[in-house]
Amino acid sequence: MADLVTRAKWDKAARNFDLMAGGGAEARWKPFKQKLFANMQGRILFLALGTGLDIPTFPPGQDITAIDISPKMLAQAAPRIAAYDGTIRAEVMDVHEMTFAPDSFDQVFTSCTFCSVPRPVEGLKALLRVLKPGGELFMFEHTGSRYLPFKPMMDLMTVLSRRMGPDMNRTTVDNVRKAGFRITEVENVFLDVVKTIKAVKPQA
């Protein structure tokens, strides 16, 4: 059944999303995202395209299938999709209910998503299903910290932040492992909070 609560939350966030997320932090993360997205090749799924803030950091010439649960986020992405020097086919779809055949993609990319997907391990298992054996997952994520004083602060912040948007305290690296991926690289971008994660779907 469609997750109307999550859709409504992100539809509501869409109008001000670029204002909130598109400023200083985005500029700061840009080189790290560019480096991660430079790995794009083959059949690519981009999960949670949002308003398309990441599109200017994609390498040109790719053929990308993109999904997001929120039609309003994707509507905001339309001009950035049109400006991309390659192909992006964007569809409204919940990661938990993807209609793609098993083993459809060589790679999945996503950024700042598994702070938001309501059932992260289930969502990651869904990605495993649509990736080919040996297929790669590339993530740019903010997660909870393991260290004081950040851990309790982020637990507290999450009580409020999840009402309007993301959780601040997710254990995303553990979740990737729990879903059945083999982690190949974790690189901290800011403290142990913002990071890139690379993982592989094990060969059958």
Contacts to ligand SAM by CB under 6 A: 6, 10, 21, 48, 50, 53-54, 67-70, 73, 94-96, 111-113, 116-117, 166
Instruction: Determine the residue with CB nearest ligand SAM.
Output: 50
Minimum Å distance from CB 122 to ligand SAM? 9
Nearer to ligand SAM, 18 or 106 (CB): 18
Distances (CA, A) of 49 to 125, 153, 187: 19, 28, 22
**Alpha helix ranges (H) inside 22-70:** 24-37
Q: How far is the CB of 60 from ligand SAM (least distance, A)?
A: 19
3-state class (DSSP) for residue 100:
coil
> Is 147 or 190 the residue whose CB approaches ligand SAM more closely?
190
Q: State which residue, 40 or 53, has the beta carbon closest to ligand SAM.
A: 53
Closest CB to ligand SAM among residues 65, 111? 111
Q: To the nearest whole angstrom, how small is the minimum distance from the Cβ of residue 53 to ligand SAM?
A: 4
Nearest approach, Cβ of residue 6 and ligand SAM (Å): 5
- Sheet with 105-111, side-by-side order of all strands: 87-92, 63-68, 44-47, 105-111, 131-142, 194-200, 182-190
Neighbours of 133 (CB within 10 A): 11
Helix axes 120-130, 172-179, angle to 10 degrees: 50
